[in-house]
């Protein structure tokens, strides 16, 4: 029975040592299979965090890393744990990686391994591929070779932290695209007591208030007549330049 047939029989395994195509599985631990299937390649802080959160959400997660110590850390977290070289197409084929719903390539500093793994996944016809990029040039290459989504966790976290440092009223920041973002801002003195129609944020700044948090309540269809209260949180979407102007005039 090869590794692919094991997966297809809805069983889950933990490979203690797999160095190349010619090495046999030495030990397996069986567990039941979940519904959705994800694979996380690279179990550094970023990949490990994704693996942990997906597992908490009840997803079926195949964790892959070339480092046995990393696999040992996640053997009781991921559904499947495999020591393997993701740049080896034969191994990925034996793992049945092409049948996984979504593969996340979270390889750390080794850009060459990240690119080669992405090429292999694309050639194997993986449905959805998300890859961690080290820089903008890396991102361009990844997009050209078939990555569906490219993320910059360090850069994105830096932007979020910078926005929160500018003002205590800026609670969170999320980049939606290269030019558009979403920001959560606490209603300060320039907003409290005023209605959305008075502020006319859409006309004045080109931004949209898509929701207002009030305590534990989330209003996803805020009325233009409702007066904003102290500690209300506005969820605002818009172009980066427009959001910057909105923050400068009404939030900071």
Q: Per-residue pLDDT tens for 94-110?
A: 999 999 999 999 997 89
Token code pair at residue 165: 């440092």
Third-level CATH fold of 155-251: Alpha-Beta Plaits (3.30.70)
Query: If you search the block for the tokens 């060459």, which residue do you land on?
Result: 112
CATH architecture type of domain 3-151? 3-Layer(aba) Sandwich (3.40)
Instruction: Decide if 3-151 and 155-251 have a common fold.
Output: no
The domain spans of the chain are 3-151, 155-251
pLDDT at 93 over 90: yes
Gap between the Cα atoms of 15 and 131, Å rounded: 24
Gap between the Cα atoms of 95 and 84, Å rounded: 10
C-alpha dihedral over 102, 106, 111, 117, to 10 degrees? -30
Long-range contacts: 84-89, Cβ < 8 Å, 24+? 84/15, 84/18, 85/19, 85/20, 86/41, 86/42, 86/113, 86/117, 86/120, 87/113, 87/116, 87/117, 87/120, 88/20, 88/21, 89/120, 89/123, 89/124
Is this prediction's pTM over 0.85? no
CA quadruple 197, 203, 204, 205: dihedral positive or negative? positive
Per-residue pLDDT tens over the stretch 138-148: 999 999 999 99
């Amino acid at each position: 029975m090869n590794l692919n047939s094991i997966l297809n029989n809805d069983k889950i395994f933990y490979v203690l040592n797999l160095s190349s195509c010619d090495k046999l599985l030495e030990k397996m631990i069986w567990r039941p299979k979940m519904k959705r299937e994800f694979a996380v390649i690279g179990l550094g802080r970023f990949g490990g965090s994704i693996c942990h959160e997906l597992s908490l959400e009840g997803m079926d997660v195949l964790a892959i890393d070339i480092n046995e110590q990393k696999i040992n850390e996640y053997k009781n977290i991921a559904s499947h744990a495999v020591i393997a070289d993701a740049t080896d197409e034969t191994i990925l084929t034996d793992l049945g990686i092409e049948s996984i719903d979504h593969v996340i390539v979270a390889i750390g500093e080794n850009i060459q391994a990240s690119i080669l793994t992405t090429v292999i996944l694309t050639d194997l016809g993986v449905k959805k591929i998300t890859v961690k990029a080290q820089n903008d040039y890396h991102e361009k290459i990844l997009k050209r070779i078939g990555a569906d989504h490219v993320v910059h966790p360090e850069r994105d976290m830096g932007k979020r932290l910078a926005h929160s440092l500018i003002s205590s009223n800026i609670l969170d920041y999320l980049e939606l695209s290269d030019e558009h973002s979403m920001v959560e801002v606490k209603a300060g003195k320039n907003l409290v007591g005023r209605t959305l129609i008075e502020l006319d944020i859409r006309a004045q700044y080109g931004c949209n208030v898509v929701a207002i948090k009030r305590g534990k309540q989330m209003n996803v269809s805020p009325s233009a007549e409702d007066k904003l209260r102290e500690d209300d949180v506005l969820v605002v979407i818009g172009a980066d330049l427009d959001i910057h102007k909105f923050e400068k005039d009404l939030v900071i």
